[in-house]
Structure 1
Amino acid sequence: MFDKQKVLNKLKDYSPYINGYEYMKRASVLIPIVRKEGESHILFEVRSAKLKHRPCEISFPGGGIEENETAVNAAIRETCEEIGVSGNDIEIIGSLDLLVTPVNYIIHPFAGYLNNASSLRLNSDEVDHVFTVPLKVLLEMKPEEYKNTVNVEPDNNLPFDIIPGKRNYRFEKGTSPVFFYRYNGYVIWGITAKILYNFLEFFR
């Protein structure tokens, strides 16, 4: 028998997330803010050439969210593992907008102050080196912007006979913006640039 009150109670206590998240990969990143010469800088990693996934690219510290781990704890843990700081050196300011990518990733970005950034112990298996960019320089930049087209490729096993239009059904296309920031020979793009763009918009 339908129990209206039970359903209402469940909805009342429910915290919405992303429909279909259980089929997606979840990760967290930290946007580390450091102080240098009296100015706020953003710290970036250059990923090790040893990595199979996105070697030599520029990223923020971060990685996959483990089972029974919160998103913010994952960001702190991954930062500690990658650049050799203590969790006590990280002061989380807050979270930014979630990023859902066309390739089934949910990224949880967090901004935070990173203390003792002058004594990092980089994990050479994951990080080649780090560099910083003054926040005021980033705010003055206008990134190059392009657009990727995202197509739906239907599975051949779909029951086309019950879909209006059958195999001629027109699946919609989407677009995904791609940003590029250039600084002193470094090129920040992809997921990192999207998160950076979202972060910088808070100051505008």
Structure 2
Amino acid sequence: MNLSSFGLQNIIASRERCMANLKKFRAPLLNKTGKPRPATAAVLIPLCNVNDRTSILYTVRATNLRSDSGHVSFPGGKTDGCESPIDTALRETKEEIGLSPKRIDVWGCEMAVPGRKNKIIISPVIGFIPDLQESDLCVNRNEVSEVFAATLDMLCDSQNHFYTQFKNGYILPVYVVEEFKIWGVTAYMTHIFLSCLLSKDVYRNDWMRKKIVIK
């Protein structure tokens, strides 16, 4: 794998192409009235530069939480009142891991996607953090047990690609990065983002054809 493809300058130069590609993925989420369903939550997909390695920052949810405890996720949460998805993502990121909105260069929003059991609609927000330092973070241990950065080359390595099939028949990608398993809607949002950010010769993930299933 050519690591130069993940260089900071190459990634920043791909910003406009990435956001244009994301618009193509945007599809209306309809309710019973036939109108698009508004996003009711938002997360930040934190693209960052850590020790000169372009990475995506993830959180591990605290084990005391009532839902999805211990799962890998992006910082985020439910929209408060008339907040925009960007406002929600930045506020929740600050609350969960202490990362100041001033450190985040917001690129824009991905398509809204249904969350678990279609009970919530999540709007992913793309943000870039240059030269992320440990001192930029102050983890709220009531919500987050751990924060880790997965480098783009690790996320693009086919040896780290798997899939999981749910009881309802849905098949979604899984990424295994060191001891962390990224799955569910977080993995799906990761897949969409990487597909739009990187060329097909750099990111190839045929998760629908994988033989190994992780549940």
What interval of TM-score do these two structures reach, taking the shorter chain for normalisation? 0.7 to 0.9
- Match of residue 147 from structure 1: 165
Structure 1 segment 52-67 matched on structure 2, within 5 A: 52-67=66-81
Structure 2 residue 128 is matched with structure 1 residue 113: yes
- Match of residue 193 from structure 1: 187
- The alignment partner of 1:182 has SS state of strand
Give the helix-richer structure, 1 or 2.
Answer: 2
- Match of residue 76 from structure 1: 90
How far off is 1:143 after superposition?
Answer: 2.3
Identity across matched positions, percent: 29
Q: Is the 8 A contact 1:24 1:105 kept in 2?
A: no
Q: Which among 103, 121, 125 is matched to residue 118 of structure 2? A: 103
- The alignment partner of 2:170 has SS state of strand
How far off is 1:88 after superposition?
Answer: 0.6
Give the strand-richer structure, 1 or 2.
Answer: 1
Q: Indicate how the Cα distance of structure 1 residues 67 and 22 shifts in structure 2: closer, same or farther if over 3 A, else same.
A: farther
C-alpha distance in structure 1 between counterparts of 2:163 and 2:96, whole Å:
30
Gaps of 5+ in 1: 1-15, 151-174
- Match of residue 133 from structure 1: 150
The range that moved more, 34-43 or 185-194, is: 34-43
Q: Is the 8 A contact 1:94 1:112 kept in 2?
A: yes
- The alignment partner of 1:97 has SS state of coil
Q: Is the 8 A contact 2:30 2:37 kept in 1?
A: no
Gaps of 5+ in 2: 1-26, 201-215
In the superposition, the TM-score normalised over structure 1's length comes to: 0.73
Aligned residues: 165
Matched to 1:139, the amino acid is C
The range that moved more, 99-108 or 16-25, is: 16-25
C-alpha distance in structure 1 between counterparts of 2:186 and 2:107, whole Å:
19
RMSD of aligned alpha carbons: 2.2
C-alpha distance in structure 2 between counterparts of 1:92 and 1:25, whole Å:
18
C-alpha distance in structure 2 between counterparts of 1:23 and 1:88, whole Å:
30
C-alpha distance in structure 2 between counterparts of 1:22 and 1:66, whole Å:
19
- Match of residue 29 from structure 2: 18
C-alpha distance in structure 2 between counterparts of 1:81 and 1:31, whole Å:
15
